[in-house]
Each structure stands twice: as C-alpha cells, then as structure tokens.
C-alpha cells in the first residue's frame, strides 16, 4: 500500500505540474498578445479611420477586422479586458499611417486628436466662390445650401445683408463633420480682428467714415492688382480721386455689379448701366466690398502711398502704368492697346 506520505508527495507533484502547465500557457498567451500588439498593420498607404459615437471595443475590433487590418478580434478584445484603462476608444476620424502597430493605433485613437482636413480661400475670391468651395468639402456638415445669403449673414451677426468682404482669406483646418458655417464664423472673426487692429494704425486724413468703408476700398485694391508692391500706389490713386470728387471708375466694381451677366468682357453698355456697383456712374465707394481682401490690401487702404497719380492702366505683365494727367493716361492706354494687338 502507498503510504499517506507518498500520496501527499504525488499530489504535490500533480499540483506543481498543473501550476507549471498553467504558467507556461499564461506565458505563451502573454507572449502572443505582446506579439500581436507590436505587429504592424497591413497598410500600404495612409488611410482615414472613422469611429462612430458610442462605439464599443467589440465594434471597434470588428471594424478593424472588416478593414483587413486584423485577422480576428480575439487579441484586441483580450487586451481590452486585461487593460481597460489603456483602451479608451474615442469617436472621431483619425489618419492611420503605414507601419503602425496595434498598440500605437490604440494609443492614437485614445487621444481624441482627430485628423485635420483643410480648405483654402485665396485673396480676391468672392463670397459666392467661398460657398462653392465649402460645398465641395465632403468632410464638412453641409447646411449652407438651405440658407440664403441674407440668412447666413444674420446667423453670423453681420449687419450687412450681403456679407461680402467680411471673411479673412487663408487656410482653415477642421475635423470630420464640422458644420460649414463654423468655418465661416472663424473666418469672419479673423477678419474682424485684423481689420480692427489695422484700423487703429491707419494714416491720418483718410476719406473713410468707418472701418467698413476701408474694407470696401481694400477689396477694390485687391481686385485691381495681384502685384502686392503696387497696392499702396493703387490705393493712392483712389484716395486722390475721392479728394478731387472724381468717380473711381474701376472695372472690378462694374463686373461685381453685373453678377452672372458678366461673360468675360465689359461693354460700353455695361459702363453706362447704372447699378449700385458701377463706379463709372456712382460717386464714391460701392455699398459693399466686392471680394475678400488680404492683409496687404487692407494695409494699403489704411496706409496708402503719397502720390500725385489719378490714373493707372495695365501694362500687360501684372503691373500698371501710373499717370498724373488724363493726357498721360490716354497715351499709356494707347500703348497698352498696341501691345495687345501685337500679341494677337
């Protein structure tokens, strides 16, 4: 008969064997888990990953499996059960780059730092063009198409029913699902701040009743020349004309007033037509800006060059010829027309 001592010894050996077996299994499990966490996901190029609100670890794991990034959900769900504090899935859209590991992915989507999309608005673009650019952004939440221009202006607390000019042109970043009007709010706030700051630094003796009139002038300067070094001189011409009670006679305002009717050429009939924006027919400034001016155009409107010029005409290379008298201007115009004929 086996003694009680031998029985205890066998039992202990069995327990040790079971313990060692379990230890080996646990060690292998955690080793495999570590390997899966540090395994690079099979991405060939950067991709966007959108996690919906209310997503659980299980649904997140299923999403990765459906994308082909994981073979199964087992390892991710196991890791989440063992480390719930390290797997906090936050809704949003994230950019996932090649060679990222599952561990790094989990850390990334736990930060809540979403991918930033962007939209760029250039100087001299109009509000209509801005609306078109926003409408083409699939990652924005679009509700602007249901609103009229006047309704948009009201929502942004802009006094004028036509908000033209009240948005600062630059690049704006946004996350997935941002309302389009939020981008306009930021652009409007930026323009208000920059205009207010530059208004305080304006030259003395300017013919503006308020900063809004300076914004109108800046928009005209912006549309007249893309050569930044010329903008203060362009501004001086308009300031000089206003001082002499001469009409501005600037083509960009006529074009803006024509709207959809403008087809690329200004006719004599267009110049004779009296619209609120035809500065060949009205005195002073048009009622609103005609585009979104950039910082340099606003600076030029508020700190114009000092000159004796009253006229300017294009010389065909993006720059202009400036004249003090109508006679000089007419000569410059004839030279410009001759150059244009020679090109043809």
Q: Is the pLDDT of residue 298 over 60?
A: yes
**Rounded mean pLDDT of 122-145?**
93
Give residue 45's Cα distance to chain centre.
24
Do 99 and 77 contact (CB within 8 A), yes or no?
no
Q: Which residues of 38-70 are buried (b: 16+ CB within 10 A; e: fewer)?
A: eeebebeeeeebebeeebebeebbbbbeeeebb
Give the tens place of pLDDT for each residue, 82-133: 888 888 889 999 999 998 999 899 999 988 899 999 999 999 999 999 999 9
pLDDT exceeding 70 applies to what percent of the chain? 93
Q: Are strands 92-96 and 140-141 parallel, antiparallel or unpaired?
A: unpaired
Q: Is the pLDDT of residue 17 over 90?
A: no
Residue 142 is predicted with a pLDDT of 83
Q: Are strands 171-174 and 311-314 parallel, antiparallel or unpaired?
A: unpaired
Q: Angle CA(93)–CA(94)–CA(98) in degrees, nearest 5? A: 145
Residue 79: Cβ within 10 Å count: 21
Name the pLDDT band for 329 (thresholds 50, 70, 90). very high
- Which tokens is 204 given? 């003395």
Of 5 and 322, the structure prediction assigns the larger pLDDT to 322
Contacts of 285 (CB under 8 A, 6+ apart): 213, 216, 217, 220, 248, 279
Residue 291 is predicted with a pLDDT of 98
**Rounded mean pLDDT of 281-288?**
96
Q: What is the pTM of this model?
A: 0.84
Residue 29 is predicted with a pLDDT of 65
Q: Which of 7-21, 108-122, 139-153, 167-181 has the lowest mean pLDDT?
A: 7-21
Give the tens place of pLDDT for each residue, 53-81: 988 989 999 999 999 998 888 888 888 88
Can you say whether residue 165 is alpha, beta or left, with left for phi > 0 and alpha for psi between -120 and 50 degrees? left
Give the tens place of pLDDT for each residue, 212-260: 999 999 999 999 998 999 999 999 999 999 999 999 999 999 999 998 8
Residue 8 is predicted with a pLDDT of 66
Q: Which of these, 253, 228, 238, 234, lies nearest to 206 by C-alpha position?
A: 238
Coil vs helix vs strand at 29? helix
Task: Quickly list H helices, 96-177.
Answer: 102-111, 127-135, 149-155
Do 255 and 324 contact (CB within 8 A), yes or no?
no
- Which tokens is 134 given? 């926003």
Q: Is the pLDDT of residue 295 over 70?
A: yes
Residue 128: Cβ within 10 Å count: 12
Q: How far apart are CA 153 and CA 146, in angstroms?
A: 13
Q: How far apart are CA 223 and CA 253, in angstroms?
A: 9
Do 271 and 262 contact (CB within 8 A), yes or no?
no
Name the pLDDT band for 289 (thresholds 50, 70, 90). very high
Residue 20 is predicted with a pLDDT of 65
Residue 10 is predicted with a pLDDT of 66
Q: Angle CA(40)–CA(46)–CA(47) in degrees, nearest 5? A: 100
């Amino acid at each position: 008969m086996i003694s009680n001592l031998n029985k205890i010894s066998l039992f202990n050996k069995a327990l040790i064997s079971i313990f060692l077996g379990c230890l080996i299994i646990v060690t292998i499990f955690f080793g495999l888990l570590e390997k899966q966490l540090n395994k690079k996901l099979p991405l060939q190029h950067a991709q966007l990953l959108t996690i919906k609100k209310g997503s659980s670890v299980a649904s997140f794991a299923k999403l990765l499996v459906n994308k082909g990034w994981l073979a199964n959900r087992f390892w991710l769900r196991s890791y989440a059960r063992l480390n719930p504090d390290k797997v906090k899935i936050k809704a949003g859209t994230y950019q996932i780059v090649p060679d990222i590991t599952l561990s790094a992915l989990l850390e990334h989507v736990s930060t809540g730092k979403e991918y930033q999309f962007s939209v760029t608005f250039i100087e001299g673009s109009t509000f209509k063009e801005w609306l078109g650019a926003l409408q083409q952004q699939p990652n924005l939440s679009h509700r602007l198409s249901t609103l009229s221009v006047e309704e948009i202006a009201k929502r942004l607390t802009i006094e004028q029913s036509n908000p033209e000019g009240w948005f600062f042109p630059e690049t704006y970043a946004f996350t997935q699902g941002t309302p389009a009007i939020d981008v306009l709010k930021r652009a409007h706030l930026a323009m208000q701040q920059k205009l207010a700051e530059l208004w305080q630094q304006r030259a003395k003796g300017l013919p503006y009743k308020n900063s809004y009139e300076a914004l109108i002038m800046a928009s005209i300067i912006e549309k007249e020349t893309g050569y930044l070094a010329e903008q203060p001189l362009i501004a001086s011409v308009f300031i000089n004309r206003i001082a002499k009670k001469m009409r501005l006679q600037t083509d960009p305002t006529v074009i803006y007033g024509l709207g959809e009717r403008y087809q690329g050429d200004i006719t004599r009939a267009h110049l004779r037509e009296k619209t609120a924006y035809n500065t060949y027919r009205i005195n002073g400034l048009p009622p609103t800006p005609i585009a979104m001016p950039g910082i340099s155009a606003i600076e030029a409107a508020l700190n114009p060059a000092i000159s004796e010029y009253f006229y300017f005409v294009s010389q065909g290379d993006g720059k202009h010829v400036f004249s003090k008298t109508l006679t000089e201007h007419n000569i410059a115009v004839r030279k410009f027309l001759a150059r244009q004929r020679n090109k043809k």
